A = this chain, B = another copy of it.
């Protein structure tokens, strides 16, 4: 006869493992005592599972401290690399960065947040405090608004409900504000954000997907708000990039050559951010 204790069903174990790993979201290094406190798991059970996770290299142990391990780095990198949307988008993201000089993001919606799948940015990249795998409240970001404008009402409501306070004094906080903003996105096919997510920075985003159905992702250019051109000179290449990505991911057989030069007016955006700052002082 085999009687399984409730806590040892496969699902319960996986939930516990997930809880253990989630505990590292923030502090980075944790002792057993801290992990027990953060997860509420029994000490002996947590200890046994941590040991195994170290053996599997999902965690790493240094003295009394546990940290996220190299196998998670590998699996995470593989997840991004294998993502079909990301693979289709990559050459177009690099091209958009090359042509505009700004930091380019590819993002998807996940609950109330956007999660960045890629960030291409050269020197300016270090200045913009976003990272691949990082999240931001969707309603504060251009990529988030671009996706929400082509999402159902439930997801739009989720985005506001789950938002943990406004990011900056310009962030959208009410349903009325968000509805007005999403109407604008639908009218122009472009979402704009000025210091709503990060003080000093602005973004222009376009939705990716069959917009008659829903957006699956968005692409944006992002930079210092006083250097962004909030008109067609930036919005046109961003929109073209979104269309090219979707054409490419939708039908793997179509080999779209990644170029924005075909667009009639790439003017003004051909010089990079670095160029516009004047000569290098290196």
Contacts and interface: CB of A to CB of B under 8 A. Distances in A.
Interface of A: 1-5, 8-11, 13-18, 21, 24-25, 28-29, 45, 48-49, 52-53, 56-58, 67-83, 90-91, 94, 98-99, 108, 110, 115, 117, 122-123, 126, 131-135, 261, 270, 282
Nearest to A125: B94
Which residue of A3, A73, A108 has the most chain B CB atoms within 10 A of its CB atom? Answer: A73
Given A3-B2, A133-B74, A282-B270, A13 B15 contact: no
Contacts of A282: 98-99, 261, 270
A155 to B, nearest CB: 15
Contacts of A91: 126
Nearest to A69: B79
A282 to B, nearest CB: 5
A77 B134 contact: yes
Q: At the interface, is chain A mostly helix, strand, loop or mixed?
A: helix
A70 B14 contact: no
Which residue of A49, A53, A70, A131 has the most chain B CB atoms within 10 A of its CB atom? Answer: A70
A110 B70 contact: yes
Given A18-B58, A77-B134, A261-B282, 9 more contacts: A2-B4, A11-B48, A14-B56, A25-B75, A25-B78, A70-B108, A74-B134, A77-B133, A81-B131
A213 to B, nearest CB: 15
Given A45-B10, A58-B18, A270-B282, A117 B76 contact: no
A116 to B, nearest CB: 9
A53 B14 contact: yes
Nearest to A56: B18
